Amino acid sequence: MKEQNDFKPYVPAEKITPEFTVTSIALGIILAVVFGAANAYLGLRVGMTISASIPAAVISMGVIRVILKKNSILESNIVQTVGSAGESLAAGAIFTLPALFLWAAEGKMETPGILEITLIALIGGILGILFMVPLRNALIVKEHGVLPYPEGTACAEVLLAGEEGGANASTVFAGMGFAAVFKFIIDGLKLVPGEVSFRVKGYAGELGTQIYPAVMSVGYICGPRISSYMFAGGVISWLVFIPAIVLFGADLTLYPGTVPIGEMFANGGAGAIWGTYIRYIGAGALAAGGIISLVKSLPLIIRTFADAMKGLGQSGSGSGLRTQQDLSFKIILGGVGLLTILVWLIPTIPVSLIGAIIVVIFGFFFATVSSRMVGLVGSSNNPVSGMAIATLLIATIVLKATGDGGIHGMKGAIAIGSIICIVAAIAGDTSQDLKTGYLLGATPKKQQIGELIGVVAAAFAIGGVLYLLNAALGFGSEQLGAPQAMLMKMIIEGVMDNNLPWALVFMGVFLAVAVEILGIPVLPFAIGVYLPVQLNACIMVGGLVRLYFDRMKKEKKEKEQLISDGMLYCSGMIAGEGLVGILLALLAVFGLDKALNLSAKLSLPSPVLDFSSLILFALIIISLLKFTIWKKVKK
């Protein structure tokens, strides 16, 4: 294991360069809001989010180095530090907070206020940073060479490749632009359907694909293996479970359905069966997958927590070296104490004193776990949802046992789960960013302040984003399935009211167990079981494109560059579609969406529309190829 003095960062500790500037903070805030909004939309759609650190690093290099002609790598690092905080906060928030809107839609409570959402997100985000700061010395400095922190290291490499910053940034912006156009054609002008489905006569199964650039991009970024696991889950649901339910239960009325299954299928097709029965099976599989991933990580969790406790008092805040300065330990303790009191006393956050204590204990524990986990396996494999599930189960049981039941207890449980989920997500992101800064020679204290600024900016934006998306599309709908939030809602209701169709849930649980025995990653498979097969198929297409890239017969360095260009272009497409999705939601809220709708005026036959959708999908794939393998490189 390397000691701190053995490592020499890119910018020496004794050298002072521009870092925490007005430009870097302003640009970082913009990226925090943009990527936070885009990731919120993506997560609510497909149940997965992407890391914004690398795209933020590329954009910061493009703006600061190429446009502003400034040569300051630490300034670019602050931009990506602030910018990536928005993505992580959104990821934590959308896994849980939409449950409040779903309860409001059912008439169980009033619609949550923007202030309530903002405060929950803000407290969770700030706690995540404060809990992680004392761990920097133990996990990043002392464990340098042991914990790779893949995204953090990749960001450092991107920022170090300064000469390529402009070209890489143009790839991200191209992806944003093309995806914005495609999304506007599909969901704004509605010239073509966003989904194509195929059915076989006499068989209740259904297959098809969506044609959205962001969904396809998720498949490319996740790769062919994860995409195939998700698609396999969709095949099991839509080509096995749904036909079996219709075949054997056509004349039966089974809870939670209210009409015979045959009648339900005749009126609503496979989608009606999926919405009534399959989502509970998927929820059981998701819950089991989250808990299995957590149990498998227990040895690492225990070892991480023990190591963190040993190194807790070894912070470098008192050192004179610039690269060893952290936020004061007194500020951290004071901040944690103040936020704990606020969680308990603020009226808009329905958490009791016991709940506030749960927040602190579980928050610090899972922040430690998250920081170590992302160091080993990266942010994409961090079991944040598993941590949230475990927290919700324990919190709901404790609240019910102490007499805090009913809707107040349910709101309190989701508030606790939301804060913990955001804490875990932000702690992981902060760890990656501090690793990047450690490699480059940044000032940790300035990065930590930058993280706090990014969290504050994203927290104030996330409430408005959730309101817009819910008002325009509705959480739990086909457009915004909000799978993780639906799962959290089901868990809380199941504990409080015992109103779940437990037979369906346990079918999903044992399906997940069987998949785990086969050695298949449970969570992507479970997400595939839960989500519509058309969405999984679109992700699979992206995975197949990535498989083609992976198997190209080119030199290693050239192939890695092509794959990297594809990652950047797809990251841009996700951001571009997310932003247009927010814009269209805004237009829908103000009733302007109907003026753009051209589908009724054209009234083309279904075969023509389906063929047009597939043509547009082909153009989306071609645009990815244009900016990767067909890209002209200036010599």
Residue 375 has pLDDT above 60, yes or no: yes
Average pLDDT over residues 259-281: 88
Residues 88 and 517: their CA atoms lie apart, in Å, by 31
| DSSP per residue, 428-463 | HHHHHHHHHHHHHT--HHHHHHHHHHHHHHHHHHHH
Q: Shortest CA distance to 400 belongs to which of 388, 391, 412?
A: 412
Q: What is the pLDDT of residue 386?
A: 63
Residues 578 and 38: their CA atoms lie apart, in Å, by 4
Compute the C-alpha angle 528/529/531, nearest 5°. Answer: 65
Which residue has better confidence, 188 or 405?
188
| DSSP per residue, 250-267 | TT---TT-SS-HHHHHHH
- Asked if 207 contacts 198 with a C-beta cutoff of 8 angstroms, the reply is yes
Distance of CA 435 to CAs 80, 86, 374, 428, Å? 12, 18, 11, 11
Percentage of the chain beyond pLDDT 90 is 24
Q: What is the pLDDT of residue 165?
A: 47
Phi and psi at 430, nearest 5°, equal: -60, -40
| DSSP per residue, 590-613 | TT-HHHH--HHHH---HHHHHHHH
Q: What is the pLDDT of residue 625?
A: 94
Q: What is the CA radius of gyration of the chain?
A: 24
Average pLDDT over residues 411-433: 89
Which residue has better confidence, 261 or 147?
261
Average pLDDT over residues 188-196: 90
Which residue has better confidence, 610 or 201?
610
- Most trustworthy range by pLDDT among 197-201, 279-283, 377-381: 197-201
Encoded tokens for 148: 């790779």
Q: Is 11 helix (H, G, I), strand (E, B) or coil?
A: coil
Residues 229 and 136: their CA atoms lie apart, in Å, by 35
Which residue has better confidence, 188 or 49?
188
- Asked if 506 contacts 284 with a C-beta cutoff of 8 angstroms, the reply is yes
Report pTM: 0.72
Encoded tokens for 628: 């990767």
Q: What is the pLDDT of residue 377?
A: 54
Residue 311 has pLDDT above 80, yes or no: no
Residue 180 has pLDDT above 80, yes or no: yes
How does residue 370 score in pLDDT terms, banded at 50, 70 and 90?
confident
Residues 377 and 375: their CA atoms lie apart, in Å, by 6
Distance of CA 497 to CAs 103, 109, 110, 397, 400, Å? 14, 16, 19, 12, 10
Q: Is 90 helix (H, G, I), strand (E, B) or coil?
A: helix
- Most trustworthy range by pLDDT among 72-86, 100-114, 611-625: 611-625
Residues 162 and 562: their CA atoms lie apart, in Å, by 18
Q: What is the pLDDT of residue 297?
A: 64
Q: Across all residues in the chain, what is the average pLDDT?
A: 83
